[in-house]
């Protein structure tokens, strides 16, 4: 029996994701204890989780009970934090699940998802998995959004008989950390589709969030996560802010029991841990400045300005990003590298603790001398 022939054709044709090597596997391969590895490859919080969040998990005696499918307590807490009523809020197992629920609520095979690469990979993944047309409007070389080109692409897609439904804008953008001016976002909101502004990194920038605008704009969705600032990437809690007109449909599509109980109690506690959160932002913004300045001393690295908890660097001077990444990895320092359109020979370094920055700089120095 050819079971493979039964797999949905669009899934059979999908490329498998470049797997990220699990932390413990890498630790074995490098023969290095997990706590000696300097992990600056996934924009995680180098200070761990909010202490109150960890304490709340330890104290919870509700793990044998299914979570509240209405997420009442968490949505109330987020509502007062963000300043929009809980009727606008839906939480999920990470912002990733919210993206997935949104996409599954809107997309029929053949509809279009507009994407502004280089950017976060999940948006294209949704297009692939749902059989949507993936309409690409590349960012300019400085990573700014070409709003005129987006407007043109929406018109042309519609004229071709395909319905443009979702436009994803990561703001700040992953992987470069640039922000899109509010005036440009407002122009995009005038387009006849749903504009999803992904604010996973907004806490590390001084930009004003679009969150409260979901009360007035029927086609705006704003995404947030507890993964980055609150240090809860492993717990999987994120949320979206929606116009009420859209949200009713998402509740029908969403898996009923996410986020789980551990994630929910942790997120509730993290929201009360204001001093800790503010302190982390303060430290990481300072460290971002120190890291960027230090990277400029390597004449073969060009760090780009960032409003997020990472810095993208172009690698030049005859060196290849991949070789740099591998040279760092052999010394137990993990970064992301990219080598594709718009991201030729780039490495992305997440902001770590000061001693991790120091270890990275030593390892870079070693890479520099070893290969020159
Ligand atoms: C990390 C990230 C997310 C989501 O993360 P979750 O862990 O699923 O909450 C969403 N968007 C961008 C741009 C990200 O980098």
Higher pLDDT, 22 or 52: 52
Picking from 297, 345, 306, the residue whose alpha carbon sits closest to that of residue 325 is 345
State which H helix or E strand residue 77 sits in. Answer: helix 72-82
CATH number at residue 365: 3.90.1150.10
pLDDT tens-digit map of 294-340:
999 999 999 999 999 999 999 999 999 999 999 999 999 999 999 99
User: Buried b / exposed e across 10-28, counting CB within 10 Å, b at 16+?
Assistant: eeeeeeeeeeeeeeeebbe
Ligand 1 mean position to 2 CA, how many Å?
Answer: 37
Tell me the mean pLDDT in the region 65-80. 98
CATH number at residue 74: 3.40.640.10
Q: Are residues 173 and 304 in the same domain?
A: no
Picking from 128, 220, 117, 129, the residue whose alpha carbon sits closest to that of residue 176 is 117
Q: Are residues 23 and 139 in the same domain?
A: no
Does residue 125 surpass a pLDDT of 90? yes
Residues 301, 194: Cα–Cα separation, whole Å: 38
Does residue 19 surpass a pLDDT of 70? no
Residues 220, 131: Cα–Cα separation, whole Å: 23
Q: Are residues 299 and 311 in the same domain?
A: yes
Q: Are residues 199 and 64 in the same domain?
A: yes
Ligand 1 mean position to 42 CA, how many Å?
Answer: 10
Tell me the mean pLDDT in the region 14-32. 81
- Quote the pLDDT of residue 372: 57
Residues 133, 262: Cα–Cα separation, whole Å: 37
pLDDT tens-digit map of 195-207:
999 999 999 999 9
DSSP labels, 137-195: -PPPTT----HHHHHHHHHHHHHTT--EEEEEEESSPTTT-----HHHHHHHHTSSSEE
Any residues with Cβ below 6 Å from ligand 1, and which?
94-96, 120, 170, 174, 198, 200, 225, 227, 233, 238
Q: Point out the ligand 1 atom lying closest to the alpha carbon of residue 226.
A: 9
Q: Are residues 189 and 127 in the same domain?
A: yes
Considering 221, 243, 273, which residue would you say is the last residue of a domain? 273
Does residue 20 surpass a pLDDT of 90? no
Tell me the mean pLDDT in the region 278-292. 98
Tell me the mean pLDDT in the region 113-128. 96
Considering 224, 252, 273, which residue would you say is the last residue of a domain? 273
Q: How far is CA 257 from CA 63, 70, 262, in A?
A: 12, 9, 12
- Quote the pLDDT of residue 13: 87
- The domain of 309 spans 3-48+275-370
Cis status of the peptide bond prior to 220, with omega within 30 of 0: no
Considering 273, 300, 316, which residue would you say is the last residue of a domain? 273
Best mutation site among 20, 196, 228 for ligand 1 pocket (most ligand atoms within 8 Å of CB): 228
Ligand 1 mean position to 56 CA, how many Å?
Answer: 23
Q: Are residues 41 and 26 in the same domain?
A: yes
Residues 248, 252: Cα–Cα separation, whole Å: 7
Most confidently predicted of 1-10, 33-42, 186-195? 186-195
Q: How far is CA 96 from CA 49, 224, 231, 238, 356, in A?
A: 19, 10, 16, 8, 28
Q: Are residues 103 and 226 in the same domain?
A: yes
Tell me the mean pLDDT in the region 352-367. 97
Confidence band (pLDDT; 50, 70, 90) for 370?
A: confident
Residues 39, 304: Cα–Cα separation, whole Å: 20
Q: Point out the ligand 1 atom lying closest to the alpha carbon of residue 95.
A: 9
Q: Are residues 146 and 193 in the same domain?
A: yes
Residues 4, 291: Cα–Cα separation, whole Å: 49
Total structural domains in the chain? 2
pLDDT tens-digit map of 151-160:
999 999 999 9
Close Cβ partners of 147 (under 8 Å, ≥ 6 residues apart)? 184, 187, 188
Q: How far is CA 253 from the centre of its chain?
A: 22
Q: Are residues 31 and 97 in the same domain?
A: no
Q: Are residues 228 and 99 in the same domain?
A: yes
Q: Point out the ligand 1 atom lying closest to the alpha carbon of residue 97.
A: 8
Q: Are residues 344 and 226 in the same domain?
A: no
Confidence band (pLDDT; 50, 70, 90) for 22?
A: confident
- Quote the pLDDT of residue 307: 98
Q: Are residues 31 and 61 in the same domain?
A: no
Percent of the chain surpassing pLDDT 70: 99
Higher pLDDT, 28 or 152: 152
Tell me the mean pLDDT in the region 209-214. 98
């Amino acid at each position: 029996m050819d079971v493979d022939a039964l797999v949905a054709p669009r899934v059979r044709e999908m490329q498998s994701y470049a797997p990220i090597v699990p932390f413990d596997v890498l630790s074995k391969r490098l023969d290095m204890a997990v706590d000696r590895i300097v992990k600056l490859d996934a924009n995680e919080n180098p200070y761990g989780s909010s202490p109150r969040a960890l304490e709340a998990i330890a104290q919870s005696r509700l793990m044998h009970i299914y979570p509240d499918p209405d997420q009442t307590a968490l949505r109330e807490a987020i509502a007062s934090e963000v300043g929009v009523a809980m009727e606008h809020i839906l939480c999920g197992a990470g912002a990733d699940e919210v993206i997935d629920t949104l996409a599954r609520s809107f997309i029929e095979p053949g509809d279009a998802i507009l994407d502004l690469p280089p950017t976060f990979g999940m948006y294209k993944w949704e297009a692939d998995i749902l059989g949507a047309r993936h309409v690409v409007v590349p960012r300019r070389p400085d990573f700014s959004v070409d709003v005129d080109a987006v407007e043109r692409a929406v018109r042309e897609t519609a004229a071709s008989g395909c319905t443009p439904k979702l436009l994803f804008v990561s703001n700040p953008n992953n992987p470069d950390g640039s922000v899109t001016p509010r005036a440009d976002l407002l122009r995009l909101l005038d387009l006849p589709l749903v504009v999803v502004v992904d604010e996973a990194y907004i806490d590390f920038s001084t930009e004003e969030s679009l969150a409260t605008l979901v009360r007035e704009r029927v086609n705006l969705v704003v995404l947030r996560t507890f993964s980055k600032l609150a240090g809860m990437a492993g717990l999987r809690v994120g949320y979206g802010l929606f116009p009420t007109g859209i949200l009713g449909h998402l509740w029908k599509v969403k898996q009923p029991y996410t986020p789980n109980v551990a994630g929910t109690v942790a997120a509730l506690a993290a929201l009360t841990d204001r001093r800790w959160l503010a302190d982390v932002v303060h430290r990481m913004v300072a460290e971002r400045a120190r890291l960027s300045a230090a990277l400029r001393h390597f004449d073969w690295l060009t760090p780009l300005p960032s409003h997020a908890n990472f810095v993208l660097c172009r690698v030049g001077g005859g060196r290849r990003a991949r070789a740099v990444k591998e040279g760092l990895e052999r010394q137990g320092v993990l970064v992301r590298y990219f080598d594709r359109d718009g991201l030729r020979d780039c490495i992305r370094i997440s902001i770590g603790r000061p001693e991790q920055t120091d270890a990275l700089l030593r390892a870079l120095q070693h890479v520099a001398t070893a290969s020159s």
